[in-house]
Amino acid sequence: MVKNRSKIAHIFVLEAIEDSISADRIEVKPMFGSHSIYIDGKIICTLRHRPKSPQDNGIWLVMSGPHFKELKQEFPSLRYIDIFSDLSGDGFKSWVNLPEDGADFETEALRLSDLIGAEDPRIGKIPQSKLRTKKKAKKKTRQSR
């Protein structure tokens, strides 16, 4: 896992996920001064607390499809990520933020951890770089036959 767990923001989220059926398949990777959680190669979320740019601190959740309205009903604080607002493309719409300054952040974060641990199909996505690698491998396999 991660050498220095004390640097992971919102560590209680990771600990809650580690208590789930997904525990043995979790991987944590540092990313842009934060830590991202992967399960079976799918990026699930990023735990972020950056004092110099606090507007998007909290949990960055990756949705597998257009589930924002549905998840927003379950997690009222959920919103799109501010720093992505100037970027175009649907890839950035699949990332949303459960802000750490939300009124019920810890309660919502633990409920979100339960969904992640139960491998809710709305959450998580294989990164584009991994998709490209898989497509290349399939293509090579077909060509070598």
Q: What is the pLDDT of residues 21-66, one digit of tens each?
A: 888 999 999 988 899 999 999 999 999 999 998 999 999 999 998 8
Find the mean pLDDT for residues 5-16: 93
Counting the structural domains of the chain, the total is: 1
Structural contact between residues 109 and 98, judged by C-beta atoms closer than 8 angstroms: yes
DSSP 89: S
For the entire predicted model, the pTM comes to 0.83
pLDDT on residue 115: 96
Count other Cβ atoms within 10 Å, centred on residue 139. Answer: 10
Domain boundaries, position 118? 5-143
Per-residue confidence band for 128, with pLDDT thresholds at 50, 70 and 90: confident
The better pLDDT of the pair 130, 126 is held by: 126
